[in-house]
Amino acid sequence: MNINATLLAQTIMFALFVWFCMKFVWTPIVAALEARKKQIADGLADAERAKHDLELASKRSAEILREAKEKASDIIANSEKRGSEIVEEAKNQAKVEGDRIIAGAKAEIDQEVFRAKEQLRTQVSAIALAGAGKILGREIDAKAHNDLLDKLVAEI
């Protein structure tokens, strides 16, 4: 238990250990700890921001969905309206067309009737002539009685 040179050796050893610890142990580990602290803080901040972004995005998506639904129902309503319009138009057109066809047919019929009448009229005069000839027993000179016949035809 004497005080001897061990004292000096221990002091020197102590100084060397402290130096070593400071240079090669403390500094890197504390730097790593600081870096991790920063990493964690950044990570938390990022998570917070991401959460916020997510909230915004979900709000936005809900809005977009709502708009889309509105638009879709608008489109459906429009198309329904348009569809009924088209049907209505087609109906009208069909009616017009039908009317036109009917009118044409009527005109044709009238024409046919008129022509038949014409024909009948001419034939009637011939029949009248033939009948009168038979009745009179002689030939009626068509030329001589032309004016008479024409008068008759006009009367029918």
Partner 1 sequence: MSSEAHTSAEYIHHHLQNLTYGQLPAGFERHGADGAVEALQQATWTVAHTSEEAKAMGFWALNLDTFFVSLLLGAIFMLVFRSVAKSVVTGTPSGLQNFCEWAIEFIDSSVRGSFSGKNNMVGPLALTIFFWVFTMNLMDLIPIDYIPLLMTSLGVPFFKVVPSTDPNATFGMAIGVFLLVLYYSVKVKGLGGFVGELTLQPFGKWGMPVNLLLEGVNLIAKPISLALRLFGNMYAGEMIFILIALMGGAWAGFSVSGVTLYGSQILLSLGWAIFHILIVTLQAFIFMTLTVVYLDMAHQEHH
Minimum CB distance to partner 1 smaller for 18 or for 130: 18
Q: Under rule CB under 8 A, which residues in 28-47 are in contact with partner 1?
A: 28-30, 32-33, 35-36, 39
Six token digits for residue 131: 């009948």
Locate tokens 């730097």: which residue? 31
CB of 45 to partner 1, least distance (A): 17
Minimum CB distance to partner 1 smaller for 16 or for 142: 16
Q: Does 126 bind partner 1 (CB under 8 A)?
A: no
CB of 60 to partner 1, least distance (A): 35
Q: Which stretch binds partner 1 (CB under 8 A): 21-29, 55-63, 113-121, 146-154?
A: 21-29
Locate tokens 């014409």: which residue? 118
Q: How many residues bind partner 1, per CB under 8 A?
A: 31
CB of 38 to partner 1, least distance (A): 9
The string of DSSP letters for the chain reads ----THHHHHHHHHHHHHHHIIIIIIHHHHHHHHHHHHHHHHHHHHHHHHHHHHHHHHHHHHHHHHHHHHHHHHHHHHHHHHHHHHHHHHHHHHHHHHHHHHHHHHHHHHHHHHHHHHHHHHHHHHHHHHHHHHHHTS---TTTTHHHHHHHHHH-
Q: Which stretch binds partner 1 (CB under 8 A): 12-20, 73-81, 83-91, 136-144?
A: 12-20
CA atoms within 13 A on the CB side of 9: 4
Q: Which stretch binds partner 1 (CB under 8 A): 2-10, 78-86, 87-95, 129-137?
A: 2-10
Would you tell me which residues interact with partner 1 (CB under 8 A)? 1-11, 13-15, 17-18, 20-22, 24-30, 32-33, 35-36, 39
